[in-house]
Amino acid sequence: MAEESSKKEVKAEDKAVTNFREYLRIKTVHPEPDYDGAIAFLQRMAAELDLPFRTVEVSPGRKIVIMTWEGEDPTLPTILLNSHTDVVPVFPEEWKVDPFSAEKLENGDIYARGTQVSITNQKQYIEAIRKLKKAGKKLKRTIHLTFVPDEEIGGVLGMKLFVKHEEFKKLNIGFALDEGLANPKDAYTVFYGERCCWWLHVICHGNPGHGSRFIENTAAEKVRRIINKFLDFRGEEEKKLKSSGCLTLGEVTTINMTMLKGGIQINVVPNELSVGFDIRIPPAVDLVEFEGKIKTWCAEAGEDVKYEFAQKGVDQTLTSTDESDPWWKAFSTACETVGVPIEKEVFPAGTDCRFLREAGYPALGFSPMNNTPILLHDHNEFLNEDVYLKGIDAYCTIIPALANVQ
């Protein structure tokens, strides 16, 4: 008996955590995400919650899942809880566990790709609604949960198409929530805007020739000047961020060189080289003026230097965080009720929120994950089960607050 009593009792895992771990094991990882597996899982969740379930194919093989919890007044503009089902690739050799095992350590940390992105939001939405329905809660406005594909590769065949679809317009959205980021401190971060994403290639043409000679006016010389211009500006913005003490990443412009292409043979000076840059521009920056800067850099690099956009975001819409705004007031007051402070920021990367805001819908990026290092897309991405469960409880307060806005 003494031996038995000395044994540490194993705490039973919360069903919401078990469901979460099961979902994380579905390999919705690019380049071949198992969307069918995710849809089957979500359909099962909808059945458990007794919610209508349907899919809308916006592009071949790309389906939007919609669950709906009808409110007491279906004529009112509705609340959208959006999330994406895909995740980015992994480098398994860099992980301490199988990145799709959803292994849980003794301290409750759950390791898996997707624990800090929209996969978590999806399950927290679902589990919050499960608890609200079980408690007999009635909401004034209808809640729509949407689960979209391809967000991690730009959302071009996902939310970008969906917001233009007739089925989306029928949802009568008044306000939306989408994913955010973890916060290492005891606070939640809420994102009211995003930086514009510009992906561009600068193509430099020059004189070709034999690799043994001093060829004049080469493409390589021009590429070097371009790289220097872009990365010098990058250095200025990085210095601004580090020296200010008050700016966040979403308030400065980042530039990263991501591609370098060209050449046909090691002893042949090429007549063309190109360099690719990923640029993220905050809402306060004048986009026309910034593109003018790029034109100047190209002109100064030499003749026959041009640039082409692979992606050019131009919408700088911000969602109101003024206390007079009823949506913001409901959201912020609910967070106060939860007892976790919120920090307002511009999202440094890109989410499907940009398509919602561009289409005229107020949307906030929010993931209730505090006291958690930011590890999305990183090796050994994890989330503690207690943080996950507290996030569900936070949504149990936030969702009714938004759905009952007068």
The pair of three-digit structure tokens given for residue 113, joined into one six-digit string:
């790709």
The structural domains of the chain, with segments of one domain joined by +, span 11-194+348-403, 196-312
Question: Is 374 within 8 Å of 187 (Cβ atoms)?
Answer: no
Two structure tokens written together for 66: 């919609």
Active-site residue identified among 150, 151, 152, 352: 151
Annotated active-site residue in 32, 36, 50, 86: 86
Count of beta carbons in the 10 Å neighbourhood of residue 303: 10
**CATH assignment of 11-194+348-403?**
3.40.630.10
Map tokens 């370098």 to a residue: 260
- 59-68 confidence digits (pLDDT tens): 999 999 999 9
| Percent of the chain residues past pLDDT 70, beyond the cut | 98
11-194+348-403 and 196-312 in the same fold? no
Known active-site residue 385: no
Instruction: Summarize pLDDT for 214-252 with one digit per residue, the tens.
Output: 999 999 999 999 999 999 999 999 999 999 989 999 999
Question: Residue 118: which of 85, 166, 71 has the closest Cα?
Answer: 85
Beta bridge partners of 312: 198
Would you state the pLDDT for residue 10? 58
Q: How many helices (H) and strands (E) does the chain have?
A: 11, 17
291 is catalytic: no
This prediction's pTM: 0.91
Q: Return the CATH number of 196-312, one of 3.10.20.90, 2.60.40.10, 3.40.50.300, 3.30.70.360.
A: 3.30.70.360
Residue 11 confidence (pLDDT)? 72
Predicted confidence pLDDT, tens digits, the chain (406 residues): 444 444 445 578 999 999 999 999 999 999 999 999 999 999 999 999 999 999 999 999 999 999 999 999 999 999 999 999 999 999 999 999 999 999 999 999 999 999 999 899 999 999 999 999 999 999 999 999 999 999 999 999 999 999 999 999 999 999 999 999 999 999 999 999 999 999 999 999 999 999 999 999 999 999 999 999 999 999 999 999 999 989 999 999 999 999 999 999 999 999 999 999 999 999 999 999 999 999 999 999 999 999 999 999 999 999 999 999 999 999 999 999 999 999 999 999 989 999 999 999 999 999 999 999 999 999 999 999 999 999 999 999 999 999 999 8
364 token code pair: 């906030």
Percent of the chain with pLDDT over 90: 95
